[in-house]
Copies of this chain bind each other. A is one copy, B any other.
Amino acid sequence: MSMRSLIILVSASLLVGAAPAKKPLTPNDIVAGSPASAWRTIDPDDLLVMDLANGGRVVIQLAPGFAPVHVANVKALAKGNYWDGATVYRLQDNYVAQWGLNESDRPWPAGVTAKPPAEYVRPLKGLQVKPLGFADPYAPGTGFSAGWPIAYSSKQGWANLAHCYGSVGVGRDLSPDTGTGGELYAVIGQAPRQLDRNIALIGRVIDGIDRLSSLPRGTEALGFYKDKAQYAPIARIRLASDMPHAELPAFEYMDTSGAVFASYVRLRANRKDAFYDRPAGGVDLCNVQVPVRKKG
């Protein structure tokens, strides 16, 4: 095999087998070699499962600890079949995919708070954040709490979920509207951290983000599709806990407070394996990518 036939660009997020002895470990070696005790199961009541009509499933982990009223709305919307006939109607490159009913006056199902409070930040207290320890242009501190990427201020006592690739938030009108939860977006580009503390995040895509990110981009302003024929129809959106037991999707995330995750972060910030000559000595919060995987 010639040199040129092997030309690759090794990804930091690929799962590879454990490296042979003496070779520097990669972050993925850490994931592959981690014990079961390094992982935490995600409650199926916090999994939102979106099936696209043309095939493909998008699984979203909800974050009730950060936007409880918005997350309760999303759960009530799922249980109330609010999204029947919903579509992905907006694809803006390097920004977001957005779905829901768009221009609709369908009434809210029971249990939905039409005008939730602005759950953009929460108290830092109680989060037990593991600091990342590297500079960030958007917040005094960053780190991880129970698997989530967090920005915070120890001095002012606030914390927020960070807008990273795959983050899911609640579309809204201009401030002070906060959105109800019927229109959701997922980040499909460079982390738009300027949205932190300005909009409610309700979770993140943990499986199937490529089903959204590979959709054609909309050509209208803000990436809306020009014709409704371009909309990607959604077959259904359910909570995993409402699915038949045999179909129940199960996921786990790496415990971000443990030593295994600390090793993973250290290697993300200091790549020394065969592809890399110059470790950065740092890593961006949104480039750490907390490991999440299917269980079993």
Contact = CB atoms under 8 A, between A and B. Distances in A.
A94 interface: yes
Interface string A10-48: 111110100000000000000000000000000000000
Contact of A287 (B5, B192, B271): B192
Interface string A102-119: 111100000000000000
A195 B9 CA distance: 10
Contacts of A172: 7, 9
> How many copies of the polypeptide does the oligomer hold?
2
A216 B214 contact: yes
Contacts of A213: 93-94, 213-214, 217
A9 B175 contact: no
* Interface size class of chain A, counting residues whose CB lies under 8 Å from the partner chain: 35 or more
A135 B6 CA distance: 37
Contact of A105 (B2, B102, B174, B284): B2
Secondary structure class of chain A's binding surface, majority of residues: loop
B138 A137 contact: no
A37 to B, nearest CB: 27
A16 B210 CA distance: 29
A215 interface: yes
Nearest to A158: B278
A98 interface: yes
Given A165-B189, A275-B175, A278-B120, A284 B137 contact: yes
A135 B140 CA distance: 10
A96 B190 contact: no
A69 B129 CA distance: 46
A271 B194 contact: yes
Interface stretch (A179-187, A242-250, A253-261): A179-187
Nearest to A92: B11
Interface of A: 2-14, 16, 91-96, 98, 100, 102-105, 120, 134-139, 164-166, 169, 171-177, 179-180, 182-183, 185, 189-199, 209-210, 213-217, 221-223, 268-269, 271, 274-278, 280-284, 286-287
8 contacts: A5-B102, A7-B179, A137-B283, A137-B284, A164-B190, A190-B190, A190-B286, A198-B278
